[in-house]
Amino acid sequence: MKRSQLTADIYDDDTTEQAFKYQKTSQFYEDLLFVNQSIASHCIKGENNIKIMEHFLHLLKLNNEQQVTDQFAEGCVNLVIGYFNKYLNGKPEKIGSNNDEIDDYEKVWHAERIGNGGFGTVLKVTKRNQKTKQVETIRAMKIIPNSTMGLSEAFNAINLKHPNVIKIFNIMLIRNICCIEMEYLPFGSLQYLLDNKTVKFNHQQMVLILYQCCEVLALMRQNGMVHSDIKPANILIKKLNDTYLAEVAICDFGLSIHNETLANQMGIVSLGGTTKYCAPELLIFEDGQNRFKNGPDFKPTFHSDIYSLGKTFQKLLDNNQNNDVSNSVFENFDLTQMLDRFTSSNPQEREDGFYYFIFNYILFRNRKYDIWKNDIIAAEFCELTFHLDKALTIPSSSRAFIIEHGLLAFADESLRKDRQVVIETVKRKGLKLEFADESLRKDKEIVMEAVKQNGWALQYVDESLRKDREIVFEAIKIHGQAFKFADESLRKDRDFILKVAQNDHAFEFADESLRKDRKLVMELIKIQWQILKHADISLRKDREVILEAVQQNGWALEFADTLLKKDRGIVMAAIKSHGLALEFADESLKQDKEFVLEAVVIQGRALEFADESFRNDREIVLRAVQHDVWAFEFAGEALRKDRELVMIAINMHGRALKYADNELKKDRQVVMEAVQQHGWALEFADESLRKDREVVMEAVKTYGLQALEYADESLRNDVEFMKEAEIISLNSRK
């Protein structure tokens, strides 16, 4: 019997009898242990253990004879935990329970739940030596109630043999439950690191793991596969240290699809996936949020995977924005610019950016590129084989080649001293100044070109020019934080600070004495209020300074000291300057009804940041809506059912119907009032009223034929109705 037959027999047979018989054969062990070093190889041995597996399968059968429910799925997880924690430790009478009377570190076997996802539960399973109790093996065991999804994930991952793909050791299919044994990675996922803010990657590590992920996407493409759910939670950390090492593994291939043509024919929205990282061509904006497109309109591709990868690393970059850029050749990658290409609305631009990044990474790192030799598109995009075979050795003295590809780091020493080569190179990539000869980093013209292209190039400028006001000014215009590389004399220069004040980031690196200078800070706030966040803490406790800042822009309240966020006068001044500044006020003011009433008169949508209890306070909500109809979005559930309040809102703007209770969207009079005010409101009417000829015709009067987009199909197929609608639309324009 072949391995595929084992899967079919256990899954398709109405009883477990054949499966039991089959498991007693030697072929069963060969099939079950087809991957070396599987944890199953430790626990499935001999006649006694056959009885264990029979008993385990029997318990699964008793739980549910027909279909897998949530309760059954949870029961199976508990059975697996009990199987490892209790049964394999010699306590068979209560297989379904955890073994509390045995200390975890005394068990030969131990299983614990470490994660729950949309498609299953993950356990950490530890096997210790019977005698020494030393850990022999640790594995992750994923239990997936949907066997089709589980098998898809396992076999997709097995087919991708790559160090940056999660390693699968074994697959066991027991009725409808798929158990996947895979490598255990204790660092967790990128999402875990983002949520806990425990680690900030340096620039080199980010570029390195981005390249690793790109290799996996390229390998999937070569195998006709699309992942379709790339996100931080599906990228696991394999290795990480405090310097430059980082290695990741992509996991969760349950949504992966073989062949993009097949993907174009499938509606897999019901399977899941994550809209937050999903490409825009796969989404539709409905009811104020992004949703997956339906059926054949949902077509995940290699290009949509690139987009998801780009969004993932933009999130990672945001989390690392305060981390220093490491001093290495990796700085030559402008990650922000690169990820902008990955997340372009144009799929072809994503692909171009993807291969551009790959090509440059391989050149900089002299990385092995075997995987890319099979990638026809990569070869066509950059003549990869030619460049990699030739570029790293022969053309180091080729002026044109060095300039065109910005490879000054690999250029012959004579070219690094060549003024024309260097100036042409830094015009394209300012950071390449790092690799110019020391004499040229003192050349004001060359340096000026470099910092104009990339302000960060200031860090490679000769000390003498870091005092040059023109050079530093140009660098700050491009990147305010480049001021950190300026000479100390400029960072203490009061007049120079006033000159660069438009860039609030520059003030962060001004000398401490200037950040404490009250008179200077008051002057700067009038030019750029955001410098307040970099002012000394003593000035952020100064009422006069804060008042000046919030009068410039209410959002400056965010940087005020906690005590001043309780000051009614300060907070009200902030709200008058920017109505949504209530967000940064102290909770005591957000709970003050009189204060909130005053705030929503200035800006109705300040209701969003008021205490939750006020969302059902009719007086406050009415006052907010009267001053800004869109504040109705933040009304509580009870007030969304208030017919009178809803009528007030829709008479201000018909589309406020969107936030009314569903029962009022069925109310013909309410909907009629809404479409008479704005025909576009028909979008939010109940389906029954989108069939109402009179209601739809009123919508046409105020919104033209565009309103018919939301009319019921029966009306849009009615020839007479459509003719009448066209006449009414024409007349309404006169």
Token pair, residue 454, equals 């990339």
Closest residue by Cα to residue 44 from 178, 170, 183:
170
Whole-angstrom distance, CA of residue 141 vs CA of residue 496? 61
| Ordered DSSP codes for 133-144 | --EEEEEEEEEE
| Ordered DSSP codes for 674-719 | HHHH-GGGGGGS-TTGGG-HHHHHHHHHHHGGGGGGGS-HHHHT-H
DSSP-based three-state secondary structure for 381: helix
Residue ranges of alpha helices (H) inside 563-642 are 568-577, 587-590, 593-602, 618-627, 637-640
DSSP-based three-state secondary structure for 461: coil
Whole-angstrom distance, CA of residue 283 vs CA of residue 292? 5
8 A C-beta contact, residue 681 and residue 687: no
| Stated length of the chain | 734
User: Any long-range contacts for 336-341 (C-beta under 8 Å, 24+ apart)?
Assistant: 339/310, 339/313, 339/314, 340/310, 341/310
**The three-state (H, E, C) secondary structure of 472-537, written as one string:** HHHHHHHCHHHHHHCCHHHHCCHHHHHHCCCCHHHHCCCCHHHHCCHHHHHHHHHHCHHHHHHCCC
Place of tokens 């910005």: 406
Residues in a beta bridge with 179: 143, 172
8 A C-beta contact, residue 147 and residue 178: yes
Calculate ∠ Cα 442-443-447, nearest 5°: 90
Residue numbers in the known binding site are: 142
Token pair, residue 73, equals 């799925």
8 A C-beta contact, residue 518 and residue 532: no
| Residues with Cβ within 8 Å of residue 91, at least 6 apart in sequence | 99, 102
Token pair, residue 10, equals 């256990």
Whole-angstrom distance, CA of residue 561 vs CA of residue 546? 9
DSSP-based three-state secondary structure for 123: strand
Whole-angstrom distance, CA of residue 305 vs CA of residue 273? 12
User: 359 vs 135, 244, 356, 365, 405, CA distance in Å?
Assistant: 43, 21, 5, 10, 10
Residue 90: left if φ>0, alpha if ψ -120 to 50, beta else—which one?
left
Whole-angstrom distance, CA of residue 194 vs CA of residue 172? 33
Whole-angstrom distance, CA of residue 142 vs CA of residue 184? 11
Whole-angstrom distance, CA of residue 387 vs CA of residue 401? 10
Token pair, residue 654, equals 């018909």
User: What is the 8-class DSSP label of residue 189?
Assistant: B
Residue numbers in the known binding site for ATP are: 142
User: 172 vs 140, 181, 449, 572, CA distance in Å?
Assistant: 14, 8, 62, 64
| 675 sits in which H/E element | helix 668-677
8 A C-beta contact, residue 497 and residue 514: yes
Whole-angstrom distance, CA of residue 250 vs CA of residue 245? 17
